[in-house]
Amino acid sequence: MNIAAGIASDRFGSRRIDTGRITVNVREAGNGPLMLFFHGITSNSAVFTPLMARLSDRFTTVAVDQRGHGHSDKPEGGYEAHDYADDIAGLIRTLDRGPAILVGHSLGARNSVTAAVRHPELVRSVIAIDFTPYIETEALDTLEARVNAGSQLFEDIKAVEAYLAGRYPNIPADAIRIRAESGYQRVDGGLRPLASPAAMAQTAKGLRSNLVPAYRDVAKPVLIVRGEASKLVSAAALAKTSRLRPDLPVVVVPGADHYVNEVSPEITLKAITNFIDA
């Protein structure tokens, strides 16, 4: 039995879609041009439901459990950037509503930019939240250690919420609740993350791959969003990225850490709509 409640399940239709290469679970709402959302490592599509609620009057909003995460397939291998990017392309082709606007956080940002390079005909534009080239090795070391420590057994949902609140101290309680209610499954003895530990370990290693070619070569409009207090994307990494691609607009969200869209949803929403409308 899976734990899923509240905004994560009540307001958005959830279904699994066979893309021909993988079956992914999505949450969807709205009508209009296609806008796809891709979460960060260990997370799932439910974290985007507050943003989807605000955008689904203008767009067909579809948030995706990426491979290895949530209720999507969890193959033994295939967790490099090109694997995730080709999943995105397969989903857009299957939905037959493209080209799509891609909104990605962290891992999802990397995958979205990579998809725009590999499959430009399927992508309109990208909002890349808090992941760029030039991330320092120390930051990736810290990320990998935290990812590998997350596969624990929890007694109940309250224990999950307490763990997540300690791990993500700046994420508001309602957003923590969405993560807790959507990201865990009941097993003997309690609750475990839906994200596959083996997939997370491979994905974390893959985040170390050189992202410079993708950002150098992307020809679609890309908005780069960074949390001012992000411990993953430093100010130096952002500055190097802007020197690589001075034409790409940048929004730095005051007071936000890495988890920009959960910590500062209103500013994130404004950044997305301003970019699209421009």
pLDDT in tens, 237-260: 999 999 999 999 999 999 999 999
Q: Which is the catalytic residue, given 43, 106, 182, 230?
A: 106
**Which residues does residue 24 pair with via DSSP β-bridges, in sequence order?**
17
30 neighbors 59 (Cβ within 8 angstroms)? yes
CATH number of the domain encompassing residue 208: 3.40.50.1820
- On the question of a cis peptide bond just before residue 197, with omega within 30 degrees of 0, the verdict is no
Q: Which is the catalytic residue, given 39, 71, 119, 258?
A: 258
Per residue in 56-76, pLDDT tens?
999 999 999 999 999 999 999
In terms of Cα–Cα distance, which of 55, 8, 63 is closest to 32?
55
At residue 135, φ and ψ (nearest 5 deg) are: -65, 130
Active site residue 141: no
Write down the pLDDT at residue 151: 78
223 neighbors 275 (Cβ within 8 angstroms)? yes
Active site residue 39: no
Q: Quickly state the pLDDT bin for 1 (edges 50, 70, 90).
A: very low
For residue 153, how far is the Cα from the chain centroid?
24
Q: Is 28 left (phi over 0), alpha (psi -120 to 50) or beta?
A: beta
Flag whether pLDDT at 40 surpasses 80: yes
Range 167-186 average pLDDT: 96
Q: Which long-range contacts (CB under 8 A, 24 or more apart) does 49-52 make?
A: 49/7, 49/8, 49/11, 49/12, 49/178, 50/7, 50/175, 50/178, 50/265, 51/103, 51/261, 51/265, 51/268, 51/269, 51/272, 52/12, 52/27
Q: Quickly state the pLDDT bin for 2 (edges 50, 70, 90).
A: very low
Antiparallel, parallel or unpaired: β 184-187 and 190-193:
antiparallel
User: Over pLDDT 90: what percentage of the chain?
Assistant: 92
Write down the pLDDT at residue 150: 67
Write down the pLDDT at residue 196: 96
Flag whether pLDDT at 7 surpasses 60: no
262 neighbors 171 (Cβ within 8 angstroms)? yes
Q: Quickly state the pLDDT bin for 8 (edges 50, 70, 90).
A: very low
215 neighbors 37 (Cβ within 8 angstroms)? no
Range 117-129 average pLDDT: 98
Task: Give the mean pLDDT of the chain.
Answer: 94
**Which residues does residue 25 pair with via DSSP β-bridges, in sequence order?**
16
Q: Which is the catalytic residue, given 130, 182, 230, 264?
A: 130
Domain that holds residue 173: 2-277
Q: Is 249 left (phi over 0), alpha (psi -120 to 50) or beta?
A: beta
Flag whether pLDDT at 157 surpasses 90: yes
Flag whether pLDDT at 263 surpasses 60: yes
User: Radius of gyration (Cα) for the chain, nearest Å?
Assistant: 17
Q: Quickly state the pLDDT bin for 4 (edges 50, 70, 90).
A: very low
Range 125-136 average pLDDT: 98
Token pair recorded at residue 92: 């857009």
Domain count, the chain: 1
Write down the pLDDT at residue 146: 86
Range 187-213 average pLDDT: 96
Active site residue 106: yes
Give the CA angle between residues 5, 11, 15 to the nearest 5°.
80
Q: Quickly state the pLDDT bin for 98 (edges 50, 70, 90).
A: confident
Flag whether pLDDT at 229 surpasses 80: yes
Put the strands of the sheet holding 100-105 in their side by side order: 13-18, 23-29, 60-64, 34-38, 100-105, 123-129, 222-227, 250-253
